[in-house]
Amino acid sequence: MNVTWLGQAGLLFSVEGQRILIDPYFSSSVEKVNPAGRRRMRTPDWVWDIRPDVLIFTHDHLDHYDPETAPRILQSRKSITVLCAPATWEKARQCGGGHNYVRFARHAEWTQGGVRFSAVKAEHSDPAPIGVVLSAEGKTIYVTGDTLFSGEIFPDLPQGIDVIFLPVNGAGNNMNAADAARFAAKTGAKRVVPLHVGLFDELTTDVYTGENKWALKPFQEYEL
């Protein structure tokens, strides 16, 4: 199982012969709405050619469901399973292409090619955001999506989380680094990957000083 951080909250997993893409944001659509949201991290050309087997949108914000990025990925003739948090489902379906668009709300599960996906609670400004747990190859991976610290999340989570990916920027209804460290510790995750820094701000993963930190460099592939 391998992972590549694609900037902001974007992640690409390679597992069980499948490519799993979560929350890709490759355009500059945020800047068009808010000039302060200009890109500080260049998007390499190769990311536009990613054609995943599974595409996941955790909530309906431009840097997670991007109306410029999503249609370009979904123009693929390859059939894609698209697991959509409720607020993104209708938007994603408008892209057409004969893909399998699944309304993936909290507590829903989907199994494909040896990978089980579970939607768990997130606490964010979207009305129904989700985090996602991936279970495959004997590993349990938890991607929180954008979220604040909330005690209501933990009953949704499995035991034995190997790696957690979580926001640490403390803006836009996300956990700050201190709360992210408390959150990660409470999950018991063996490794902690800080996200949501460096694209719209000058933060780096150094802002996170919690235990078991694993700082990824963007657009580089790592073995999990």
Across the chain, the runs of DSSP E, i.e. the strands, are 2-5, 11-15, 18-22, 54-57, 81-84, 100-103, 109-112, 115-121, 130-136, 139-143, 163-167, 191-195, 221-223
Q: What is the mean pLDDT of residues 50-77?
A: 96
Q: What is the mean pLDDT of residues 155-163?
A: 98
* Residue 208, token pair as written in the block: 């996170």
Which of the listed CATH numbers 3.40.50.1100, 3.40.50.1820, 3.20.80.10, 3.60.15.10 matches domain 2-214?
A: 3.60.15.10
Across 27-75, the runs of DSSP E, i.e. the strands, are 54-57
Q: How far is Cα 122 from Cα 144, in angstroms, rounded to an integer?
A: 7
pLDDT on residue 204:
96
Q: What is the mean pLDDT of residues 68-95?
A: 95
Given pLDDT bands bounded at 50, 70 and 90, which one contains residue 34?
very high
Q: Per-residue pLDDT tens for 105-148?
A: 999 999 999 999 999 999 999 999 999 999 999 999 999 999 99
Q: Which pTM value belongs to this model?
A: 0.97
For residue 45, the 8-state DSSP code is G
pLDDT on residue 45:
96
